[in-house]
Amino acid sequence: MAIVEKTFYTPYVTVYSGDDPAAVSGVIVDSIQVVSDDLSEEIEMDVTPLGAGSITVEVSAGDTLSGPFTAYNIDDLSGVPNMSVIVHERSKTIFSNTMVWSGAVTSDGGGAGSNDTVQLVLPSGAICTTDTADVTIDVTTTDGTQTPGTTISGSDIISVTTGGLITVTAALLGTTFTGTIYFKTI
């Protein structure tokens, strides 16, 4: 399933300055602007481009970093009293989703000890949040090691991609399972 760029959205603007740290995920950010009365200032931040991994970038005062991004982490702005970071978010609406699963599970690397993966079917135009705390899996039946009638969550959810690929600890789901997956999208 391809991720489709939306052409209509409601922007939200958040301004960080002074000692405001900001570590935000599960959003769509169109741009991050750095402003200061001293154009020689710059700030280092981590951003996660849509569909990619996190990268560290330096943005100079007066410049704008164009997205889309699904997460950002702006380090402490202390010591730069006249600098602000303006974040233009596309949406603050997070939707809770449920998907009933009955079928095969794949592996993330092949062979014994490989983690189990499940590919979600996302609502049209939706992007899955990448916070593993947003995912739980209620297992009804499985040929894996997870006890039927229990829930997979926490550290057993290893990763979630914006495209909805969930990776869980090796052998918990086995090669097939039936259950309900709870996840969030934006």
Q: What is the pLDDT of residue 50?
A: 79
Same domain as 122, residue 107 = yes
Helix (H/G/I), strand (E/B), else coil: 123:
coil
pLDDT at 91: 65
pLDDT of residue 2: 47
Residue type, 13: V
Statement to judge: residues 37 and 102 lie in one domain: no
- The parent domain of residue 36 ranges over 12-91
25-29, 61-65, 111-115, 171-175: least confidently modelled range: 111-115
Split at pLDDT 50, 70, 90, the class of 7 is very low
Q: Which long-range contacts (CB under 8 A, 24 or more apart) does 167-171 make?
A: 167/108, 167/115, 167/116, 167/117, 168/115, 168/116, 168/117, 168/118, 168/137, 169/115, 169/116, 170/113, 170/114, 170/115, 170/116, 171/116, 171/144, 171/145
Which of the pair, 74 or 138, is modelled with greater confidence? 138
Statement to judge: residues 102 and 131 lie in one domain: yes
- Give 74's pLDDT tier (boundaries 50, 70, 90): confident
pLDDT digits (tens, 9 = 90+) for 89-145: 876 667 888 999 998 998 876 556 789 999 999 887 788 887 888 899 999 999 999
Please say if the pLDDT value at position 6 is more than 60.
Answer: no
Please report, for the domain that includes residue 24, its CATH number.
2.60.120
